[in-house]
Amino acid sequence: MREIIFDTETTGLDSREDRVIEIGGIELDNRFPTGRTFHVYINAQGRPVHPDALTVHGISDDQLADKPTFPQIAHDFLAFVDGAKLVAHNANFDIGFLNAELARLDLPLLASDRVVDTLALARRKHPMGPNSLDALCRRYGIDNSRRTKHGALLDSELLAEVYIELIGGKQAALILDTAVEAVVVATTEGAEVASRQRPVPLAPRLTDAEREAHARLVAGLGEKAVWLSSVDAKL
């Protein structure tokens, strides 16, 4: 299954008047990054960056002056996302802006049934929130220290890790910025299957208090408790 985790930055909040000025996306195949990415800054064609937006993403009008316009990158973007599910955080915002840009060019719009909104997923899984991208990174122990400003490609990379956590997938094998070591595992049928492994193991999520509480529980079960023979009893 092919998915594109993507994000946009814009000149402001009104898709009727404001313009997309940055698109970033990464490709997942069966929930693993393929290494293919899409990233472009876009000339806003005379629409100035709103000061509030500049505070968020730090992309100035001067930085965009020599960048391609949306008509110049539209076909490359559509080719990159062709046939894939589209995954974004607060997806209505990004899709609304992209479809506004595509509509100006009379190009096919991105259909809503292709879109997965990770904000909606997070609100269902964590109804008490908060569910911003930064908050979800903190919840799942994902390093977002590089995110001093919003940026479409970096935010897509972080969102990919958050997305895998939200759907309960192979989060231990999702590595976006380091090489992944392939490990060959023999199966009962004699075949060999390549799995992936983090170079540095994830930090344990159990706290010392939780370990102590577990130990007290096990100690109260008695000497003949089946639990004592389990490896988990020694957590």
pLDDT of residue 227: 58
pLDDT of residue 224: 66
Same domain for 56 and 135: yes
| Per-residue pLDDT at 60 exceeds 90 | yes
- The whole-number average pLDDT for the span 133-139 is 95
**234 belongs to a structural domain:** yes
Same domain for 48 and 109: yes
Same domain for 16 and 113: yes
Same domain for 114 and 224: no
- The whole-number average pLDDT for the span 192-196 is 43
pLDDT of residue 198: 54
**pLDDT, tens digit, 9 for 90 and up, residues 76-98:** 999 999 999 999 999 999 999 99
Query: For residue 157, what is the domain's CATH number?
Result: 3.30.420.10
**18 belongs to a structural domain:** yes
pLDDT of residue 228: 62
**21 belongs to a structural domain:** yes
Same domain for 234 and 135: no
For the chain, the straight-line distance linking the first and the last C-alpha, in angstroms and rounded, comes to 36
39-53, 157-171, 175-189: the lowest-pLDDT one: 175-189
**120 belongs to a structural domain:** yes
Same domain for 221 and 153: no
Same domain for 214 and 155: no
What one-letter code names the amino acid at 189?
E
**194 belongs to a structural domain:** no
**31 belongs to a structural domain:** yes
Cβ contacts of 186 within 8 Å, gap of 6 or more? 192
Same domain for 219 and 141: no
Rounded to the nearest 10 degrees, the angle between the axes of helix 70-81 and helix 91-104 is: 120
How many structural domains comprise the chain?
Answer: 2
The confidence band for 221, taking pLDDT boundaries of 50, 70 and 90, is confident
Same domain for 61 and 116: yes
Cβ contacts of 191 within 8 Å, gap of 6 or more? none
pLDDT of residue 226: 61
pLDDT of residue 205: 65
- The whole-number average pLDDT for the span 100-116 is 97
The catalytic residue among 39, 57, 75, 150 is: 150
**201 belongs to a structural domain:** no
Averaged confidence pLDDT in the chain = 84
**134 belongs to a structural domain:** yes
* Residues constituting the chain: 235
Of 125, 156, 173, the residue at which a domain comes to its end is 173
Question: Which pair of tokens denotes residue 230?
Answer: 């389990």
Same domain for 114 and 12: yes
- Note if 150 is an active site residue: yes
Same domain for 222 and 132: no
Find the farthest-apart pair of alpha carbons in the chain and give their distance in angstroms, rounded: 77
Q: Which domain holds residue 97?
A: 2-173
Same domain for 91 and 8: yes
